[in-house]
Amino acid sequence: MTPLGDLIEKRLHGLATGEELQELDALLSSSPEAALAFARATRLDHALAKHFKGERAVSAIQRDLRGVRRRRLVSIAAAALVALGLGVYVARGRETLAMSGDLALGAGDLLHGPATITFPGEGTTVTLGSGSALTIEAPGPGKRLYLSQGRLSASVDRQADPLVIRTPDARATVRGTRFVLSTDQGSTRLEVTHGSVTLARGSEKVDVAADEVAETKSRTLAKGSLYADRFRALWDDLHDPARGYFSADGIPYHSVETLIVDAPDQGHLSTSETFSYWLWLEAMYGRESGDWAPFGAAWKKMEETLIPSHADQPTNDLYVPQKPATYVPEADRLNQYPVAMDPSVGVGADPLALPGDLYVMHWLVDVDNFYGYGKNALINTFQRGPMESVWKTVPHPSKETFSWGGPHGFLDLFLQEPSYAKQWRYTAAPDADARVLQVVAWAERWVREQGKDPSRILPTEKAGRMGDSLRYALYDKYFRTRHDLFSWSEAWGGSLDRTNGWAWRSGSSHVHFGYQNPVAAWYLSRSSADWAASLERQIEFYRWLQSAEGAIAGGATSSVNGRYDAIPDGTPCFHGLSYVEHPVFRDPPSNEWFGWQAWSVGRLAQYATLAKDAAAAALVDKWAAWARSVVQLTSDGRYAVPSTLRWSGKPDPWTASGPGPNRGLHVQVVDTTEDVGVAASLARALLAHGSAESRALAKELLDRMWTLYRDPAGVSNPESRADYIRFHDPVDLPPGWRGALASGGAFGPGASFLDLRPKYRSDPDFPRVEEAIRSGKAARFRYHRFWAQVEVALAFAELAR
Amino acid sequence: MIPEEGDGMRSRDEFLKLFLRHQDDIRAFLGSVVRDRGAADDVFQEVSLTLWESFASYDPARTFGAWARGVAFKKVLQGREKSRRIPLAFSPRTIQAVLDAYDRTEAAAPDTEGLRECISKLPPRSQSLLALRYERSLKLADIAREVGSSLDAVHKLLSRIRLNLQECLERRLQEGAR
């Protein structure tokens, strides 16, 4: 037997001395042949043990796996971490320089993203983007990487010897920092978020500091503001026709993707919310570039698309303000519809008595004619009380000509009347119009900062008109009271026929804190006592609803159950309104969505800054402390913001002179999300709050989001849509009702959400919904909602300032 | 992307198939570099867990065995760095060399059928010696006492038997290749 063979055998028999083990160690590491012999011998040793002891029972292994699986269920986040390391291994080097997931990487190894690379003994992480290629190079003496294609983000611990990352045309030298490096078609881009990195091209060199970006595209190595650059990158994406955010005639869709059921029930519908965000985007663009033409164009398109023309609201002159509308009770359950008008219930007079047409947006438009009522037809869905989720809605044209539906069009699904007339009717979602006015408030300021006259550049007069028309939202549905708050809707309509013609208008009794917009009220209050009163009332409203923790609770109503029922005993009141935990809708409960917090308090924070209002600032301070405490930043570079909130208790009854502490009103975070839109809204609210802590968290959220979810079309995170199982939910139609759909076919009781939307069956994503329903496993989508993209873009622009 | 529960269900059978085929090789590798059998078993449990949890990241372009041994290698080194509670037989550099050797000779791993045949060709005395060593897990000193021989003689005898088996297996492999 050779000396090596003898040493191996001794090791296997447990006879080797320490000295002999050392000898074997040296032999194995210096001679590949020795290592091969050792591998052969140890394999045989194990095979013999197995042969003589019998195979380990399969069942035992399966038991192990079940144990593993249980553990996996509770540690899904940890599994996600491992799953990130999806590198493609090409060649094994000798020394382990880095790890990807559980792969040891050595010099010469090539990885394809997505992959996460870690380094033994330190916290440095390099995350390689999808489609990217990175080679591990031999140390020299610090770490050496070569990014030949794509994008990586890195969080680098302080290095004794600098880490150097080469690209085809440049070299980044790093000592300890966080940054994103990308290379495409021979040019390189470096984004630094913390610390600094030196970027070199040939003999040229530039030190890139935190919040800066440098590119090799230009003739000289130039650097600029990182976050202004990200705003511009998203602005470019949103306007790139290839990305699909706009229709051919320039209307922004709710989302790039067509199969999506949010409040708008298809992606290529558009909403007043979408337009309000578009105007935000263009106002910020005007601020950054001085070019206000896109803002003007967006306003014009909004007007053309969503503000009904005179021809579309033709009989306003027949409106009688003393008798603005006939009372219709709201019903609790869907099967109680249609409901009958009740003229015996008194209604108030309309003190606004605005002459002519209203200048606010209808909330929903069918851009691609999904429903068949015409391209860019104004349509509506929600009509049937608090339990009508989107899955139960019956889409119908806003102009009812009896061409589709039953003999009375769609009217008799909702309203029971002795006779039906052809008519027009529209519904505004006041938070969207308010957002438009909030944007105008900022735009005026920015235009002035640019030394220009806002009235020459911005549609200020039209904004004033919108503010005037929006005052209907400050009233109870039947003008029995004026609550002075942004309520859930304002609606107006009239007969199409002038003979025996009529018109009606209504406010809304239901007020959600999430709709309040003190910036809009502040802007309008300069020329309107109504809006000055609203501003004061809104600030009180936030104070009344602020929970012990700081989050803001639901809202209030001037009409309990939509039927002016008696206020239940023990219900706290606010200026005659009674507290409602989830105003307006309960499927799902309206104030469980965290987004309302970020949206609404973000506005409150902006107002506090604009108006230097200390009381408002105190509310925001308390809220921001809570918000910061419920955001999670994990060591794997991810983030989680609240998704669902649960409420308990009630606010103290309101006394303006000494508001109660609301010790019994509480919020709890039920679950969390990585949703890019909500996270960006939160970041913006924190930036508006402006404390160092809030700004730091906002920056962290946005940087993480950019690293995790930047994609070729924008920013997008995967989301599970368990609710898509409801495509087959029956919409609950009255017994015996039959009607025709413009998109094809007849429908009646038993018809499902899908039956009313037959074009969904040919949507390219529909098979995924079917598969999800079949398998009972939620389908996952990546959506590019217009509002969310804009929110992210705006957050970066605001971070840049 | 977070692996879906459903995906996990689907991939479970595939994982089990690959895992069962390669588990012996993983154990062999661990046994070769970890000094204590119990410790090697513990690491094997950890490795199995990690393999299952990270199966989504397994790239079928490599062999499962190489991937699994890579995981085992990392676990061994991690254990060494963290607490030194895994008694390693060799330095990390040598363990890497052994890993490379295992990777290069994966196809030559002894198959169950071949081993059975080669053992059956051994003289009965050799077979019973192997049984003492591997079935009853006796230490060499105990075997020597049992068969009334010296420790050194048993060591040499067992080494020779294993050499014979190795040759027999290689012959089979070459015949199979032809």
Which pLDDT does position B176 carry in this prediction?
66
Q: Which candidate, A123, A113, A51, places its Cα nearest to that of A84?
A: A113
Assess whether A723 carries a catalytic annotation.
no
CB A29 within 8 A of CB B93: yes
C-beta atoms of B56 and A82 within 8 A: yes
First to last CA, chain A: 77
Tell me: the pLDDT tens digits for A620-630?
Answer: 999 999 999 99
Distance CA B130, CA B111 (A): 18
Give the residue with greater pLDDT, A777 vs A597.
A597
Contacts of B101 in chain A (CB under 8 A): 32, 35-36, 38-39
Mean pLDDT of all residues in A730-737: 94
Which pLDDT does position B106 carry in this prediction?
79
C-beta atoms of B52 and A68 within 8 A: yes
Is A85 a residue whose pLDDT tops 80? no
For chain B, say whether A140 makes contact (Cβ under 8 Å).
no
For chain B, say whether A28 makes contact (Cβ under 8 Å).
yes
Q: For residue A354, give the 3-state DSSP assignment.
A: coil
Contacts of A42 in chain B (CB under 8 A): 28-29, 31-32
- Chain-centroid distance of CA A297 in Å reads 25
Which pLDDT does position A659 carry in this prediction?
93
CB A685 within 8 A of CB A598: yes
Residue B58: closest C-alpha in chain A? A86
C-beta atoms of A46 and B54 within 8 A: no
Is A299 a residue whose pLDDT tops 90? yes
Residue A422 burial (CB count, 10 A): 15
Which pLDDT does position B82 carry in this prediction?
57
Q: Of A35, A56, A71, which has the smallest distance from its Cβ to B100's Cβ?
A: A35
C-beta atoms of A121 and B100 within 8 A: no
The C-alpha of B73 sits at a distance from chain A's nearest C-alpha, in angstroms, of: 8
Residues sharing a CB contact under 8 Å with residue A579, sequence separation 6 or more, in sequence order: A553, A554, A555, A556, A571, A572, A573, A650, A651
Residue B95: closest C-alpha in chain A? A29
Which of A52, A86, A109, A111 to mutate to probe the B interface, most B CBs <10 Å? A52
Which pLDDT does position A395 carry in this prediction?
97
Q: Per this entry, what is the length of chain B?
A: 178
For chain B, say whether A45 makes contact (Cβ under 8 Å).
yes
CB A360 within 8 A of CB A471: no
C-beta atoms of A24 and B90 within 8 A: yes
Res. B11 pLDDT band, cuts 50 70 90: low
The C-alpha of A11 sits at a distance from chain B's nearest C-alpha, in angstroms, of: 9
Is A63 a residue whose pLDDT tops 60? no
Q: For residue A586, give the 3-state DSSP assignment.
A: strand
Distance CA A246, CA A765 (A): 19
| Most confident of the ranges A133-147, A686-700, B18-32, B57-71 | A686-700
Q: Report residue A160: phi and psi, to 5°.
A: -65, -50
First to last CA, chain B: 46
Question: Which segment of A102-116, A378-392, A472-486, B96-110 scores lowest on mean pLDDT?
Answer: A102-116
Question: Which segment of A85-99, A167-181, A604-618, B123-137 scores lowest on mean pLDDT?
Answer: A85-99
The C-alpha of A624 sits at a distance from chain B's nearest C-alpha, in angstroms, of: 30
Distance CA A471, CA A489 (A): 11
Q: What percent of chain A stands above pLDDT 90?
A: 76
DSSP codes, A609-657: HHHT-HHHHHHHHHHHHHHHHH-EE-TTS-EEEEEEEEEES-PPPP-TT
Q: Which candidate, A174, A59, A83, A54, places its Cα nearest to that of A638?
A: A83
Tell me: the pLDDT tens digits for B25-79?
Answer: 888 999 999 887 777 877 887 888 888 888 888 888 888 888 898 899 888 888 6
C-beta atoms of B32 and A38 within 8 A: yes
The C-alpha of A606 sits at a distance from chain B's nearest C-alpha, in angstroms, of: 36
Which pLDDT does position A637 carry in this prediction?
79
The C-alpha of B25 sits at a distance from chain A's nearest C-alpha, in angstroms, of: 7
Distance CA B94, CA B33 (A): 9
Complex confidence, ipTM: 0.92
Which pLDDT does position B63 carry in this prediction?
84
- What the block records as the tokens of A739 is 């009607």
Distance CA A609, CA A624 (A): 14
Q: Which candidate, A585, A582, A584, A581, places its Cα nearest to that of A571?
A: A581
Is B141 a residue whose pLDDT tops 60? yes
Q: What percent of chain A stands above pLDDT 70?
A: 95
Which of A102, A105, A782 to mutate to probe the B interface, most B CBs <10 Å? A102
Which of B43, B134, B157, B161 to mutate to probe the A interface, most A CBs <10 Å? B134
C-beta atoms of A6 and B166 within 8 A: no
Tell me: the pLDDT tens digits for B97-111?
Answer: 999 999 888 777 787
Which pLDDT does position A77 carry in this prediction?
24
Distance CA A308, CA A760 (A): 28
Measure Cα distances from B62 to A71, A104, A493, A730 in Å: 27, 13, 68, 50
Tell me: the pLDDT tens digits for A225-259?
Answer: 999 999 999 999 999 999 999 999 999 999 999 99
Is A62 a residue whose pLDDT tops 70? no
List, in sequence order, the alpha helices (H) in A307-429. Answer: 411-414
Question: Which segment of A13-22, A577-586, A701-710 scores lowest on mean pLDDT?
Answer: A13-22
Give the residue with greater pLDDT, A150 vs A651.
A651
Total beta-carbon pairs less than 8 A apart between chain A and chain B: 210
For chain B, say whether A42 makes contact (Cβ under 8 Å).
yes
C-beta atoms of A51 and B115 within 8 A: yes
Distance CA A617, CA A542 (A): 11
C-beta atoms of A94 and B96 within 8 A: yes
Tell me: the pLDDT tens digits for A661-687?
Answer: 999 999 999 999 999 999 999 999 999
Which pLDDT does position A130 carry in this prediction?
75
Give the residue with greater pLDDT, B136 vs A288.
A288
Question: Which segment of A56-70, A136-150, A546-560, B12-26 scores lowest on mean pLDDT?
Answer: A56-70
- Cis peptide bond N-terminal to A141, omega within 30: yes
Residues sharing a CB contact under 8 Å with residue A343, sequence separation 6 or more, in sequence order: A326, A327
Give the residue with greater pLDDT, A544 vs A222.
A544
Q: For residue B111, give the 3-state DSSP assignment.
A: coil
Q: Which candidate, A207, A210, A127, A196, places its Cα nearest to that of A699?
A: A210
Which of B53, B59, B82, B142 to mutate to probe the A interface, most A CBs <10 Å? B53
The C-alpha of B143 sits at a distance from chain A's nearest C-alpha, in angstroms, of: 11
For chain B, say whether A71 makes contact (Cβ under 8 Å).
yes
- What the block records as the tokens of A18 is 């320490």
Which pLDDT does position A378 carry in this prediction?
98
Mean pLDDT of all residues in B8-13: 54
Q: Of A48, A85, A95, which has the smallest distance from its Cβ to B134's Cβ?
A: A48
CB A477 within 8 A of CB A507: yes
Q: Of A51, A121, A777, which has the smallest distance from its Cβ to B4's Cβ?
A: A777
Tell me: the pLDDT tens digits for A510-521?
Answer: 999 999 999 999
Q: For residue A174, give the 3-state DSSP assignment.
A: strand
C-beta atoms of B49 and A35 within 8 A: no
Give the residue with greater pLDDT, A589 vs B45.
A589
Give the residue with greater pLDDT, A479 vs A88.
A479
Which residue matches tokens 């303006």?
A: A656
Q: Which of the residues A184, A262, A636, A652 is marked catalytic?
A: A636
Contacts of A121 in chain B (CB under 8 A): 81
Q: Which candidate, A432, A407, A435, A450, places its Cα nearest to that of A489?
A: A432
Distance CA B76, CA B95 (A): 9
C-alpha triplet A579, A585, A590: angle, nearest 5°: 75
The C-alpha of A709 sits at a distance from chain B's nearest C-alpha, in angstroms, of: 11
Distance CA A300, CA A309 (A): 12
Mean pLDDT of all residues in A399-428: 96
Computed over every residue of chain A, the mean pLDDT equals 91
C-beta atoms of A11 and B89 within 8 A: yes
Tell me: the pLDDT tens digits for A153-200?
Answer: 898 988 888 999 999 899 999 988 889 899 888 889 999 999 999 999
DSSP codes, B38-90: HHHHHHHHHHHHHHHHTGGG--TTS-HHHHHHHHHHHHHHHHHHHT--S-BSS
C-beta atoms of B94 and A28 within 8 A: yes
Question: Which segment of A4-18, A248-262, A389-403 scores lowest on mean pLDDT?
Answer: A4-18
Which residue matches tokens 């609203």?
A: A534
Contacts of B163 in chain A (CB under 8 A): 1, 5
Q: Which candidate, B142, B178, B146, B140, places its Cα nearest to that of B158?
A: B140
Surface of A (330-369) touching B: CB under 8 A: none
Surface of A (73-92) touching B: CB under 8 A: 73, 75-80, 82-89, 92
Distance CA A57, CA A645 (A): 48
Surface of A (759-798) touching B: CB under 8 A: 775, 777, 780
Q: Which candidate, A385, A363, A372, A361, places its Cα nearest to that of A264?
A: A363
The C-alpha of B161 sits at a distance from chain A's nearest C-alpha, in angstroms, of: 11
Which of A48, A110, A117 to mutate to probe the B interface, most B CBs <10 Å? A48
- What the block records as the tokens of A576 is 């005659």
Contacts of B25 in chain A (CB under 8 A): 43
Is B3 a residue whose pLDDT tops 60? no
What DSSP element (H or E) covers A299?
helix A293-306
Distance CA A786, CA A238 (A): 8
- What the block records as the tokens of A782 is 């990546």
Residue B170: closest C-alpha in chain A? A40
Residues sharing a CB contact under 8 Å with residue B140, sequence separation 6 or more, in sequence order: A13, A14, A15, B133, B151, B154, B155, B158
